[in-house]
Amino acid sequence: MRLLGIGLQGIRKFCAFMELPRPVFQSTYDSIISHILSATEVVSMSSMSDAAQEEKRISAENGEQNGITVSGDGSWRKRGFASLYGLVSLIGWHTGKIIDVIVKSKYCKACEHWTKKEHTEEYKEWAENHASECQANHEGSAGKMEVDGVLEMFQRSQELHDVKYASYIGDGDTKTFKGITDAQPYKTLTVIKKECVDHVQNNNESFNSTVWAMAPKSMNSGKKIIDIAANIATCVFNDGFISILSTYDVMGLTIGSKSFQFCQEVDQNRIKKAE
């Protein structure tokens, strides 16, 4: 149902009108969401790793020895600087595939709940265990999410993909590139800025649309749901709809013939439209 952009309430409504039994309770649903998140992370990381290696190979063949060129773009859950969530992605110049993506969040439901008990021993114990699970990973304005997100992805490029992002293509916002140059993520390399071209911008916007279709801006959902949407969108964007079945495999689910056939048809139709 996440592929349809539907959460637990939507599932309950669907089951009610289809005369189906009541679906899972909230606690079980939350557990399932965590399981799906873990599986989609594994598959999306593999997809981005393959995309980065492909980008690196093509770049080397074109004489680009210092690193690869990436385009960056940010998208927000809501318009304006009041948005609690933002999405930032990097796409390879030659392949047009997602190399890295990060979801930024200013909100954590658990933190909001425990704030009322902030000065208690119970809170201190909770806070120690919560740090690694906190859903809030951004401080400051929503507009700064793109700057921080792009910089964070530049700083982890060598650890993640064993590659440097030598050139950056932005959407005209000079703040992001300034953030990169000021931080100097690579000691022996100065990142160069390239002008944005239409097909690069279209790729970024297409990816953003795919994410928000699965985590609709009109519906209330937290960072985990947006993370899942970003992971699935990355796989679909890079490898086609058939890649969704890899998530099934990681979760230990049986892949039926109908699912396989549907994914094949979707990918074939997408190729025909592209031609």
C-alpha distances in Å from residue 187, one per residue of 50, 153, 178, 262: 26, 16, 16, 48
Burial 147-179 (b: 16+ CB within 10 A, else e): bbbbbbbbeebeeebebbbbbbbbeebeebbeb
pLDDT of residue 15: 84
- 192-243: pLDDT as tens digits: 998 766 556 678 888 999 999 888 877 778 899 999 999 999 999 999 999 9
pLDDT of residue 80: 65
| Residue 19 one-letter amino acid | E
Handedness of CA 226, 229, 235, 236 (dihedral sign): negative
Tally of CB atoms within 10 A around 220? 9
- 35-91: pLDDT as tens digits: 999 999 999 999 999 999 999 999 999 999 899 999 999 999 887 667 899 999 999
Confidence of residue 179 (pLDDT cuts 50, 70, 90): very high
Confidence of residue 1 (pLDDT cuts 50, 70, 90): low
3-state secondary structure of 10: helix
Predicted TM-score (pTM) above 0.85 = yes
Domain locations in the chain? 6-239
pLDDT of residue 2: 62
Helices (H), 120-197: 121-130, 144-155, 157-161, 174-183
| Cα–Cα dist 270/194, whole Å | 30
| CA of residue 220 relative to chain centroid, distance | 17
| Cα–Cα dist 222/135, whole Å | 8
| Cα–Cα dist 137/90, whole Å | 19
